Amino acid sequence: MAAGSLLEVIGRTPSVWLDRMIAARGLEGRILAKLDYLNPGFSKKDRAAKGIIEMAEASGDLRPGQTVVELTSGNMGTGLAIVCGIKGYPFVAVMSRGNSVERARMMEALGAEVVLVDQLPGSVPGQVSGGDLAQVDKVAMEIVAERGAYRADQFHHAGNARAHLETTGPEMWRDSDEELTAFVDFAGSGGTYGGTMTALKEFKRDIRGYVLEPIGAAALSGAEVTQPEHPMQGGGYAMAELDFLRNAPVDGYITVTGEQARATARAMAKEEGIFGGFSAGANVAAALDLLAGPEKGGVVGVVICDSGLKYLSTDLWA
């Protein structure tokens, strides 16, 4: 039966076992990869965008026809462009110029107004720091005030984590034949980790959750930030706290390098046919490290966060 709109096909993405990558590295255990790059906006953020807007509608916080504004690295903006466009809300995406140009072009094609914010002096294109994100947040707040707009606020709005609590977590548990022993996720807003892990703990109390950060920018783990710049767009902002992790079950922290993420994304494309982005490569790299260490012989779940098509202008595929 055909869906009434694209909103009805967000979520329920397929999962696959990365058994070829496991065998090639001589590891024990399995990795379950949730293919959220197959969502309509090519990323997991479609779930959060839908969750935030529908929750805001239900509460009455979002008025009919009101403009929606949000900061984005591109994925949340794409999801919101789709959801707002279908529901009739003008949408303004505010993004750092340090993110790949494909993202801005896609959001504009979907009807969004895109406002690009210059990076801080000394920042490297393709490497968006927490300072760069703070500049984007400042501009987003100014636009909200000027236009009387609604701020989607992905770093704080409960609809973000709730979407993953209600959909991603239960889907992954079913897709694994109820065999998951661990879950690891690259921290951006923390909504995916917080929602998914809370759901998984309801299914299996002793399942272990790991928060992934870039090496040198692992502020959530309490480590000193020595290298806030890295190529993994959409997360790793070296923030010491994230709302969605405050009450979420965290059993451990893990780090990977930008080169690990890049190499693993490339390997995943060649070995498994999965064309994911930087954060997907980071997630799988971390899962491989876990199977080589504390999760040896276990079943680790990861999300393939977005599509490699969003990085064609970067060095991910150069």
What mean pLDDT value characterizes the chain? Answer: 97
Instruction: Tell whether the model's pLDDT for residue 127 goes beyond 90.
Output: no
Q: Are residues 179 and 273 in the same domain?
A: yes
Instruction: List, in order, residues 6 or more apart from 200 with CB less than 8 Å away.
Output: 169, 172, 173, 180, 183, 207, 209, 301
Mean pLDDT of 280-286: 98
The span from the CA of 173 to the CA of 152, in Å, is 29
Q: Are residues 110 and 81 in the same domain?
A: yes
pLDDT classification of 306: cutoffs 50, 70, 90: very high
Structural domain span for residue 60: 45-151
pLDDT tens by residue, 152-163: 999 999 999 999
Q: Are residues 276 and 205 in the same domain?
A: yes
Q: Are residues 105 and 192 in the same domain?
A: no
Q: Are residues 264 and 126 in the same domain?
A: no
Q: Which residues are catalytic?
A: 45, 279
Please give the tally of structural domains in the chain. Answer: 2
Q: What angle do CA 15, 18, 23 make, to 5 degrees?
A: 160
Q: Are residues 78 and 37 in the same domain?
A: no
Instruction: List, in order, residues 6 or more apart from 133 with CB less than 8 Å away.
Output: 71, 96, 237
Q: Which CATH number fits the domain that encloses residue 28?
A: 3.40.50.1100
Instruction: Tell whether the model's pLDDT for residue 126 goes beyond 90.
Output: no
pLDDT tens by residue, 17-61: 999 999 999 999 999 999 999 999 999 999 999 999 999 999 999
Six-digit token pair at 133? 């994100």
How, if at all, do strands 299-303 and 182-186 pair? parallel
3-state SS, residue 68: strand
Q: Are residues 280 and 305 in the same domain?
A: yes
Mean pLDDT of 76-103: 96
Share of the chain above pLDDT 70, in %: 100
Instruction: Tell whether the model's pLDDT for residue 312 goes beyond 90.
Output: yes
- The total of other beta-carbon atoms located within 10 Å of residue 179's CB is 13
Q: Are residues 101 and 210 in the same domain?
A: no
Instruction: Tell whether the model's pLDDT for residue 130 goes beyond 90.
Output: no
Q: Are residues 303 and 187 in the same domain?
A: yes
Q: Are residues 174 and 120 in the same domain?
A: no
Domain membership of residue 156 (yes or no) is no
Provide the whole-model pTM.
0.96
Q: Are 184 and 283 in contact (CB under 8 A)?
A: yes
- Residue finishing a domain among 101, 122, 151: 151
The span from the CA of 183 to the CA of 211, in Å, is 9
